[in-house]
Protein backbone atom coordinates (compact mmCIF):
# COMPACT_ATOMS: atom_id res chain seq x y z
CA UNK A 1 0.00 0.00 0.00
CA UNK A 2 2.80 2.44 0.86
CA UNK A 3 4.41 2.10 -2.57
CA UNK A 4 1.09 3.16 -4.14
CA UNK A 5 0.87 6.24 -1.91
CA UNK A 6 4.49 7.19 -2.57
CA UNK A 7 4.01 6.73 -6.31
CA UNK A 8 0.89 8.91 -6.25
CA UNK A 9 2.69 11.69 -4.39
CA UNK A 10 5.71 11.52 -6.68
CA UNK A 11 3.45 11.61 -9.73
CA UNK A 12 1.75 14.83 -8.58
CA UNK A 13 5.03 16.52 -7.68
CA UNK A 14 5.13 19.53 -5.36
CA UNK A 15 1.41 20.18 -5.85
CA UNK A 16 0.61 17.21 -3.57
CA UNK A 17 1.49 19.14 -0.45
CA UNK A 18 -0.46 22.18 0.70
CA UNK A 19 1.35 25.48 0.54
CA UNK A 20 1.04 27.41 3.80
CA UNK A 21 1.83 31.08 4.08
CA UNK A 22 1.54 31.56 7.82
CA UNK A 23 3.39 34.67 8.85
CA UNK A 24 3.45 36.25 12.29
CA UNK A 25 0.44 38.45 11.49
CA UNK A 26 -1.72 35.43 10.65
CA UNK A 27 -0.59 33.65 13.81
CA UNK A 28 -1.29 36.74 15.93
CA UNK A 29 -4.77 37.13 14.46
CA UNK A 30 -5.56 33.45 15.03
CA UNK A 31 -4.33 33.58 18.62
CA UNK A 32 -6.23 36.81 19.25
CA UNK A 33 -9.46 35.09 18.20
CA UNK A 34 -8.74 32.11 20.46
CA UNK A 35 -7.88 34.26 23.47
CA UNK A 36 -10.88 36.54 22.88
CA UNK A 37 -13.21 33.53 22.79
CA UNK A 38 -11.70 32.21 26.01
CA UNK A 39 -12.07 35.62 27.67
CA UNK A 40 -15.70 35.86 26.55
CA UNK A 41 -16.53 32.44 28.00
CA UNK A 42 -14.73 33.32 31.23
CA UNK A 43 -16.66 36.57 31.56
CA UNK A 44 -19.92 34.64 31.07
CA UNK A 45 -18.86 32.26 33.85
CA UNK A 46 -18.09 35.26 36.10
CA UNK A 47 -21.55 36.72 35.40
CA UNK A 48 -23.22 33.36 36.12
CA UNK A 49 -21.27 32.95 39.38
CA UNK A 50 -22.22 36.48 40.39
CA UNK A 51 -25.89 35.76 39.74
CA UNK A 52 -25.62 32.49 41.68
CA UNK A 53 -24.02 34.39 44.56
CA UNK A 54 -26.72 37.06 44.54
CA UNK A 55 -29.54 34.52 44.43
CA UNK A 56 -28.12 32.11 47.02
CA UNK A 57 -30.63 33.30 49.66
CA UNK A 58 -28.03 32.96 52.39
CA UNK A 59 -27.51 29.25 51.80
CA UNK A 60 -23.87 28.64 52.84
CA UNK A 61 -23.44 25.78 50.38
CA UNK A 62 -24.58 27.90 47.41
CA UNK A 63 -22.48 30.86 48.56
CA UNK A 64 -19.39 28.66 48.83
CA UNK A 65 -20.00 27.15 45.39
CA UNK A 66 -20.50 30.58 43.81
CA UNK A 67 -17.34 31.94 45.48
CA UNK A 68 -15.26 29.01 44.23
CA UNK A 69 -16.61 29.40 40.71
CA UNK A 70 -15.89 33.12 40.77
CA UNK A 71 -12.35 32.63 42.06
CA UNK A 72 -11.58 29.93 39.48
CA UNK A 73 -12.97 32.06 36.66
CA UNK A 74 -10.93 35.10 37.68
CA UNK A 75 -7.77 33.00 38.02
CA UNK A 76 -8.47 31.48 34.59
CA UNK A 77 -8.94 34.92 33.06
CA UNK A 78 -5.71 36.19 34.58
CA UNK A 79 -3.87 33.06 33.37
CA UNK A 80 -5.23 33.44 29.85
CA UNK A 81 -4.29 37.10 29.64
CA UNK A 82 -0.81 36.30 30.96
CA UNK A 83 -0.44 33.53 28.40
CA UNK A 84 -1.55 35.87 25.62
CA UNK A 85 1.00 38.47 26.69
CA UNK A 86 3.79 35.89 26.81
CA UNK A 87 2.89 34.37 23.43
CA UNK A 88 2.61 37.74 21.69
CA UNK A 89 5.91 38.84 23.20
CA UNK A 90 7.64 35.70 21.95
CA UNK A 91 6.06 36.01 18.51
CA UNK A 92 7.14 39.65 18.34
CA UNK A 93 10.76 38.69 18.96
CA UNK A 94 10.86 35.99 16.29
CA gap 54, 63 in Å, rounded: 9
CA distance readout (Å), 41 to 47, 77, 91: 10, 9, 25
The pLDDT tens digits for 7-26 are: 666 666 556 566 777 777 78
DSSP character at residue 13 = G
User: What is the pTM assigned to this prediction?
Assistant: 0.67
Convert the pLDDT of each residue in 22-74 to its tens digit. 777 788 888 889 999 999 999 999 999 999 999 988 899 999 999 999 999 99
- Rounded to whole angstroms, how far apart are CA atoms 68 and 55? 15
3-state secondary structure of 21: coil
Q: How confident is the model at residue 78 (pLDDT cuts 50, 70, 90)?
A: very high
Which pLDDT score, from 0 to 100, does residue 63 have? 93
Amino acid sequence: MWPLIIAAVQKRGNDALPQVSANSTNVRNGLAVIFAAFAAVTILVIVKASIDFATSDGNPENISKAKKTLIYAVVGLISAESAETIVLTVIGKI
